[in-house]
Amino acid sequence: MKQNLIKTALLTLVAALAGCDADKLTVTLKTDEIRQAAMGEVSSVPFDAEFSLMSELDDEQRAELDQIIATVEDFMDIDDIELENTDMGINLLIEGELPLSATQVSAPWFVSVTESSVHADRYRIELANGTEFDRFQKALQGINFMLAPNAVQPVKYRVRGDGSVLAPGVDIDGYTYLLYAGDIDRRLTMNFSGGPWASTSGGFFLSK
């Protein structure tokens, strides 16, 4: 039983570090940066993630954690990783940046901005895998063969700026829309998690 709990803690830890099944994974975007990316400019946007671990880590697991963190920092632009002790266990807090680009980049994940093939007057924005995902996954499995981050992950977008959006199957302010259509009005938070978003990257369409 104890070994199962340790394995569970490690798997959930890597999921959080990799941005897979974090309790909270938020990417902050500005509409002017999205439009600049569509024109070919590559930039970085901030993300933060939080994950609740159910158990303490012993010395052996701490050593493996150090290897995992080092690997994540080798592949991703991480500003800060913090372990916070709480009455319920440990919270893992992560801050960093993801590339924002119209083409695939050298990273495990990036925010993709492309022309929409369905809506000619809009850009398509989604979290996508970069060219380094497979190598990143293999590096983690080299530490522990059970560690395999998911290519797709639930995500919350905080969008600031102007324009209108179309977003399918999205949660906004606690209400789930089949298809949301509306103006940003300075800021808009869209949450894509659960259901189809367990196997498909959540995304939205922004007016040009």
* 159-205 pLDDT, tens digit each: 999 999 999 999 999 999 999 999 998 999 999 988 888 889 899 99
Token pair belonging to 75: 């592949």
Pairing of the two strands 24-30 and 155-161: parallel
* 125-171 pLDDT, tens digit each: 999 999 999 999 889 888 877 677 788 888 999 999 999 999 999 99
Question: How far is 30 from 53, CA to CA, in rounded Å?
Answer: 32
pTM of this structure: 0.83
> Rounded to 5 degrees, what angle do the CA atoms 18, 23, 30 make?
75
Token pair belonging to 158: 């905080």
| pLDDT attached to residue 22 | 56
Instruction: Work out how many domains the chain is built from and give that number.
Output: 1
Within 13 Å of residue 154, how many CA atoms lie on the same side as its CB?
22
Beta bridge partners of 52: 91
Which domain, by its residues, includes 144?
A: 2-207
- How is 114-177 classified by DSSP, letter by letter? EE-SS-TTEEEEEEEE-TTHHHHHHHHHHH-TT----SS--EEEEEEESSEEEEEEEEETTEEE
| pLDDT attached to residue 116 | 94
| pLDDT attached to residue 20 | 41
Q: Mean of the per-residue pLDDT values for the chain?
A: 84
